[in-house]
Structure 1
Amino acid sequence: MQIDQQTPDWYRARYNQLRDQALQSENTARPAATPIEMTEASVLHRETIPGGWYWSTFVPRGQALRLINTSGNNGVSVMLWNADDLSERYNAGDTMKLQWTTCLTTGRVLFSDMGRVLASVIGDSCGFSDTLVGGSTPQSNQRNFGSASLRNTRNNLRLTAGKYGMAQHDVASCITFFSHISTQADGSFKWVEGDVHPGAHVDLRAEMNLLVAVSNCPHPLAPDASFAPAPVEAVRWQAPAPAADDLCRTFSEEARRGFDNTDILFA
């Protein structure tokens, strides 16, 4: 069978089949996964990122990055690149399409624009992130806080890119953790209040050598009355090797294919 030589009806039926399988899998109860704990002995580096500022780090394959939302900020944005080839970067569209969900929490993975897995979400005590809207911009700060000169995620990520010899086109749409965004019936987005708590954290395990940029700016739809993000913490730590039943590696057929594409680079 030549998959690129089928009729439109065949493609439509195939799409519906894959969608229904994904929805069934999403709604099927799974055995509780064993938590992957970060111990003090596994900590390699700690960093405090002031409100409005950014930070970047290299995270080798197998290490993890924990972001701790110390004060309950409404959003911490993250962008990832393959550190061995910076032309490969996080792709929000593929991450959602290949996993048939916008709910990127524990068990999900972050795909690159080459169909490989950049990072796995191995822990998430908040449960809410946004990879649809993108990070804050001068325009969103003007709208929300009355000033386009405030620090924002788009410029923070561009500054990061420039430091590593990249250009503006190397900064794609990012993922913003600790952000509960709901899509309305008319296609608009709405912030759902009451779900971001101080002390929440998310753990990203590097599945290839990564360059990671973190921007500590509010989500552009956050209900903040003023621009006053508090510092957040970032901890780089050594994660244990994935077990045979690792949740992220076995969560879906699409994730397994992504890992196959990734692991061959390190065989």
Structure 2
Amino acid sequence: MPRPPSAVPEPEDADQRRAARPVVAYPDDALAGPDLALYGAALASAETVEVVTVPPREARCVRVPAGSFLRMVSVEGPQVGDLNLWNAGRLEERFFSGKTRALHGTHVTRGHRLWSVLPWLRPMATIVADDLEWYGFDADGAGVHDVIGTRCDPYTNRLLAGSDYHHCCHSNLVRALAEATGLAPEAAEPLVHDVLNVFMCTGFTRDTHQYFMKASPVRPGDALTLFAEIDLLAGLSACPGGDCSASHSSDAAACFPLRMEVLRPDPATLEGWESPAPSAYDRSHGL
């Protein structure tokens, strides 16, 4: 919905107020960067130990032990995926897309880390390889692998379209998590969270600043690879929007499967690596 014309007249110093210098809210200069050379060497010798195919308009979960890799691959056609990450031993610790966006920006690529929710706030995974990192940001301001969108869900679909659709990414991830953990769907649903939109090409319109999507540049064989910093349960939904060039939450788009591969490196290649500890903030004095 377009913003209505302002009902408030501009003050005399409007231009001066708008000219205020932007300041990055969460400068990440103090963050210790990942050792990409270490991870790259480990990935080069890693062996595939599990392969899971995610059918179109469905989701699957896979366990990824700390010190292993998760590779998500386009296999038949351009397809977007919605990724959830949980601590495999404590599902309450899960991916925090909002803080990841605040630290690294709206779109993530090689060298960026995927952070967990408070109070843990630690890297759950590090992106170590991205076949679409060449894309950067296009003339529309769009990039790939966003942490903006929340995931398509049946509640918003009902609100906007007035109909029920049962293969939204939210619904798919709820079913996959319930199957993987033995939880009832009602217990699994609150654990499903905002996602990393794998392979999705998105941005904000310049006039109304609305979230938009456009055809993903992903092609069969392209992959995004994560290093698991802690023991993970990863859930991936093959979005019902296919490449998200036109719509989602429907059966109209051409959809394709995705593949999840778990790769285990030789432990000797990770000498010196340690799983990150949770935040050291002492809550006893502040809460």
* TM beyond 0.5: yes
State the 1:138 CA deviation: 3.1
Distance change >3 Å, CA 212–CA 40, structure 1 → 2: same
What residue identity is the alignment partner of 2:100?
T
2:163, 2:253 → 1: CA distance?
10
Number of matched pairs: 229
* Residue 149 (structure 2) aligned to one of 133, 156, 164: 133
| More displaced stretch, 152-161 vs 57-66 | 152-161
Distance change >3 Å, CA 261–CA 191, structure 1 → 2: same
8 Å Cα contact 1:137/1:220 also seen in 2: no
8 Å Cα contact 2:68/2:227 also seen in 1: yes
Q: Within 5 Å, which residues of 2 pair with 1:64-83? A: 64-83=69-88
| More displaced stretch, 223-232 vs 197-206 | 223-232
* Residue 105 (structure 1) aligned to one of 105, 109, 124: 109
Matched, 1:153 2:169: yes
Q: What residue in structure 2 maps to residue 252 of structure 1?
A: none
Q: Within 5 Å, which residues of 2 pair with 1:214-253? A: 214-219=236-241, 222-224=244-246, 226-239=252-265, 241-242=269-270
* Residue 210 (structure 2) aligned to one of 140, 164, 188: 188
Percent of aligned positions that are identical: 22
* Residue 196 (structure 2) aligned to one of 158, 175, 181: 175
8 Å Cα contact 1:36/1:123 also seen in 2: no
8 Å Cα contact 2:56/2:240 also seen in 1: no
Distance change >3 Å, CA 48–CA 146, structure 1 → 2: farther
1:145, 1:229 → 2: CA distance?
21
Stretches of structure 2 that go unaligned for 5 or more consecutive residues are: 1-21, 134-143, 281-287
1:180, 1:51 → 2: CA distance?
18
- Based on CA coordinates, which of the two structures has the bigger radius of gyration? 2
Matched, 1:16 2:23: yes
8 Å Cα contact 1:183/1:189 also seen in 2: yes
8 Å Cα contact 1:63/1:237 also seen in 2: yes
1:220, 1:138 → 2: CA distance?
17
Say what the alpha-carbon RMSD is for the aligned residues.
3.6
Task: Give the TM-score, by structure 1 length.
Answer: 0.72
Distance change >3 Å, CA 172–CA 150, structure 1 → 2: closer
| More displaced stretch, 145-154 vs 128-137 | 145-154
State the 1:71 CA deviation: 2.6
1:196, 1:68 → 2: CA distance?
9
1:227, 1:146 → 2: CA distance?
19
1:149, 1:193 → 2: CA distance?
22
1:48, 1:220 → 2: CA distance?
16
What residue identity is the alignment partner of 2:74?
N
State the 1:196 CA deviation: 2.4
8 Å Cα contact 2:78/2:243 also seen in 1: no
8 Å Cα contact 1:140/1:220 also seen in 2: no
2:161, 2:243 → 1: CA distance?
11
What residue identity is the alignment partner of 1:208?
I
Distance change >3 Å, CA 18–CA 49, structure 1 → 2: closer
8 Å Cα contact 2:174/2:189 also seen in 1: yes
The Cα offsets for residues 196-215 of structure 1, whole Å up to 9 and x where unpaired, read as 22221011111000111111
Q: What residue in structure 1 maps to residue 233 of structure 2?
A: 211
8 Å Cα contact 1:74/1:218 also seen in 2: no
Distance change >3 Å, CA 17–CA 167, structure 1 → 2: closer
The Cα offsets for residues 27-57 of structure 1, whole Å up to 9 and x where unpaired, read as xxxxx96855756861101222211111111
Distance change >3 Å, CA 107–CA 48, structure 1 → 2: same
Q: What residue in structure 1 maps to residue 19 of structure 2?
A: none
State the 1:126 CA deviation: 1.8
8 Å Cα contact 2:216/2:245 also seen in 1: no
